[in-house]
Structure 1
Amino acid sequence: MSALNQALRAAFERRQALIAELHGQGTDCYRLFHGSQEGAPGLTVDRYGPQLLVQSFHQPLERDALLELFAACQAFLGSELLAVYNDRSQPNSRIDRTDPVCQPTPEALADLVGHEWGLNYRVRARHPGQDPLLFLDLRNARGWVRRHSAGRSVLNLFAYTCGVGLCAAAGGARRVVNLDFAEGNLAVGRENGALNPALPEMHFIQSDYFPAIRQLAGLPVAHRRGQRLPSYPRLAAEQFDLVFLDPPAWARSAFGTVDLLRDYQSLLKPALLATAAGGTLVCCNNLARVELDDWREQVLRCAAKNGRPVREVEVLAPAADFPSFDGRPPLKTLILHL
């Protein structure tokens, strides 16, 4: 038995109870193998409903190893899934679309539907972006939002495909606003809404984070001397009962730089001010280099400095299919009760 096959079997054994629990909750989207922690760095295996998605980030898998992996997953789950392999070992994690190892079937690349917490989500193995349309490690956070949204106004920042917003709508939120700079991301969010027609309609704002959140927070949009800023939607100041902040590790635009390592405060301050008194701000940091204790201290200090002291703070662990045996998961989530 190969080393990879042994690692897969150990991972499956750890997940047996969890997957039974997830299926009982109406969830068929989860990670089957988290290679960085389970014996094969740079390799992930995810289920998205009827699809099995294997991704390699350091080096391509050989065909025999890939077929053996597909067979092992199918046998463990007891179902025939549509298999897709995305090699992302090229620069900037770009997917090798030439499929030199294993060509997926047209059915595997079609628009599919996966499920989480009983909700329907659009699934595409390949699309103009690089990442899957649903980040699985955020499942526990989406579940928390669903349980705590009843009657509240919810602002979903860096919304991506609006999974958090969808959970807020399912949880009975009275108003849900999804904000993202990419229209393609929000288009998938609209698809997710259409796949759940019984839910209330969500709202969508396509905008760079910085001008949008500063307007909502009642702050001026910063202008750099001698530089003309791109156009952006004009928004009225508004505070929300529940704000969800899940920025990427790094991004730059004409309005500012997202840098989770060096400058989380520039993201956090306006999000705090856009959170209503007595409200809740859920903030995430997915940078592995950031230590939870250091980041939590930074966040609490920023909140106090801006006149929004935190009454209570909770730490929300990632989903159990994303093990971190050293207790230092890359994704860190704080729930701030203001």
Structure 2
Amino acid sequence: MPALDQALRAALNNRHDLLVELHQQGTDCYRLFHGSQEGANGLTIDRYGPQLLVQTFHQPLNRNELLAAHELICAHLNQPLRLVYNDRSQGNSRIDRNDPIYPAEPAALEDLVGHEWGLNYRVRGRHAGQDPLLFLDLRNARGWVKQHSTGKSVLNLFAYTCGVGLSAAAGGAREVLNLDFAEGNLSVGKENAELNSQLAPMAFLQADYFAAIRQLAGLPIVARKRQNLPNYPRLQARQFDVVFLDPPAWAKSAFGTVDLLRDYQSLLKPAILTTAESGVLICCNNLAKVALADWREQVLRCAEKLGRPVRDCQVMPPAADFPSSDGQPPLKTLILQF
């Protein structure tokens, strides 16, 4: 416990200037302890507005360690944060919902509201899915979208809970389309839209990525071997000024396979074709085993082969609350200007 206490104090001190900046910009959702880089591998501690979410992925904390960390953070922030502890050290990172170490108080598990870049977001410490409803390491990219969407049409692919779409709407986009296969993800996205009712309405499309993006790109839809195509929404080919591509590491459907390690091109090609001339494509890869330089070269080569060479390529790193000792964080984001 003394070692964890020391590591946590160092992490909080290292974030002093960043937290001041985040609070000034209207953000109270951020990572307070990134264990893999700060002395406790498999432990993450995140603030989501009024909630403190502690998660363990390799081995659980004991109750004294957990409560001591909670007390230290609340004192440091001068905030009485509601504690939720998810032990995910079981198989397949499943949350141990029996809570043998610390059962959260009912108030901590209520629907709460966190904030980022002045926007409101739904916060749930526990929900049907595995991951938090807002991926904090993508905050810089959402901020970029907010700053560069005025008057633009924006397509948010693998939209999850639609944080990128919400950022685009807040930035003055004239049109925002959020696309995701999971109805539950889009339902939270609609809650986020309701929590920011002052913004222009967004559109939501529940559809398989390959079925939707290939139609938008004007490409044929092909079934995987020996599979019949299920029903899917019919779409007209068109392009968007800003396209955001943030796929999961791996997924399979009747229309195709998402595989960031072996076949990023099948995701990227139609996304490029759906990006307007002089438009912007923001693409992400969250696999730690993929090197930024190699992936960047692959992306630029794919664009070149399509006859859509990139005029400018900017790397958008996560913010300082996701430190990386080797400068190679798992999440890699490229902003491609065509």
TM-score of the pair, normalised by structure 2: 0.99
Distance 1:78 1:238, change over 3 A: same
Distance 1:310 1:98, change over 3 A: same
Bigger mean CA offset, 227-236 vs 108-117: 227-236
Paired with 2:67 and 2:24, the residues of 1 have a C-alpha distance of 29
Query: What is the one-letter code of the residue matched to 1:218?
Result: G
Q: 1:238 offset after TM fit, Å?
A: 1.2
Quote the residue 1:90 is aligned against. Answer: 90
Q: How far does the alpha carbon of each residue in 1:112-139 deviate from its partner, in whole angstroms, 9 at most, with x for none?
A: 0000000000000000000000000000
Bigger mean CA offset, 121-130 vs 251-260: 251-260
Quote the residue 1:67 is aligned against. Answer: 67
Q: Does 1:113 align with 2:113?
A: yes
The 8 Å contact of residues 223 and 256 in structure 2, kept in 1 or not, is answered as no
Query: What is the one-letter code of the residue matched to 1:138?
Result: L
Quote the residue 1:204 is aligned against. Answer: 204
Query: What is the one-letter code of the residue matched to 1:230?
Result: P
DSSP-derived class of the 1:227 partner: coil
The 8 Å contact of residues 242 and 281 in structure 2, kept in 1 or not, is answered as yes
Instruction: Tell me the matched-pair count.
Output: 338
Q: How far does the alpha carbon of each residue in 1:87-133 deviate from its partner, in whole angstroms, 9 at most, with x for none?
A: 01111111111001001110000000000000000000000000000
Q: 1:176 offset after TM fit, Å?
A: 0.1
The 8 Å contact of residues 244 and 282 in structure 2, kept in 1 or not, is answered as yes
Paired with 1:224 and 1:331, the residues of 2 have a C-alpha distance of 29
The 8 Å contact of residues 149 and 168 in structure 2, kept in 1 or not, is answered as yes
Paired with 2:228 and 2:213, the residues of 1 have a C-alpha distance of 19
Paired with 1:149 and 1:183, the residues of 2 have a C-alpha distance of 26
Paired with 1:112 and 1:20, the residues of 2 have a C-alpha distance of 22
DSSP-derived class of the 1:108 partner: helix
Quote the residue 2:50 is aligned against. Answer: 50
Paired with 1:180 and 1:40, the residues of 2 have a C-alpha distance of 34
DSSP-derived class of the 1:107 partner: helix
Paired with 1:100 and 1:229, the residues of 2 have a C-alpha distance of 45
Quote the residue 1:174 is aligned against. Answer: 174
Paired with 1:253 and 1:107, the residues of 2 have a C-alpha distance of 38
Paired with 1:193 and 1:122, the residues of 2 have a C-alpha distance of 10
DSSP-derived class of the 2:272 partner: helix
Paired with 1:34 and 1:104, the residues of 2 have a C-alpha distance of 22
Quote the residue 2:271 is aligned against. Answer: 271
Query: What is the one-letter code of the residue matched to 2:78?
Result: G
Paired with 1:235 and 1:58, the residues of 2 have a C-alpha distance of 44
Identity %: 73
Paired with 1:225 and 1:125, the residues of 2 have a C-alpha distance of 40
Q: Does 1:221 align with 2:221?
A: yes
Paired with 1:247 and 1:86, the residues of 2 have a C-alpha distance of 25
Q: 1:251 offset after TM fit, Å?
A: 1.1
**Can you give the 5+ residue segments of structure 1 that lack an aligned partner in the other structure?**
none
Q: How far does the alpha carbon of each residue in 1:198-242 deviate from its partner, in whole angstroms, 9 at most, with x for none?
A: 000000010111100000101011124542111111111110000
**Can you give the 5+ residue segments of structure 2 that lack an aligned partner in the other structure?**
none
Q: How far does the alpha carbon of each residue in 1:4-48 deviate from its partner, in whole angstroms, 9 at most, with x for none?
A: 000000000100110011000000000000000000010000000
Q: Does 1:136 align with 2:139?
A: no
Paired with 1:41 and 1:112, the residues of 2 have a C-alpha distance of 28
Paired with 1:318 and 1:50, the residues of 2 have a C-alpha distance of 23
TM superposition outliers: structure 1 runs of 4+ over 3 Å: none
Paired with 1:69 and 1:225, the residues of 2 have a C-alpha distance of 52
Paired with 1:50 and 1:271, the residues of 2 have a C-alpha distance of 37
The 8 Å contact of residues 223 and 254 in structure 2, kept in 1 or not, is answered as no
The 8 Å contact of residues 149 and 242 in structure 2, kept in 1 or not, is answered as yes
Query: What is the one-letter code of the residue matched to 1:37?
Result: Q
The 8 Å contact of residues 146 and 168 in structure 2, kept in 1 or not, is answered as yes
Paired with 1:223 and 1:90, the residues of 2 have a C-alpha distance of 36
Query: What is the one-letter code of the residue matched to 1:100?
Result: P
Query: What is the one-letter code of the residue matched to 1:184?
Result: G
DSSP-derived class of the 2:130 partner: coil
Query: What is the one-letter code of the residue matched to 2:180?
Result: D
Paired with 2:116 and 2:152, the residues of 1 have a C-alpha distance of 22
Task: Please give the residue correspondences for 1:1-338 in structure 2 after superposition, counting only pairs within 5 Å.
Answer: 2-224=2-224, 226-338=226-338
Paired with 1:255 and 1:86, the residues of 2 have a C-alpha distance of 34
Paired with 2:86 and 2:225, the residues of 1 have a C-alpha distance of 44
Paired with 2:226 and 2:314, the residues of 1 have a C-alpha distance of 43
The 8 Å contact of residues 224 and 256 in structure 2, kept in 1 or not, is answered as no
TM-score of the pair, normalised by structure 1: 0.99
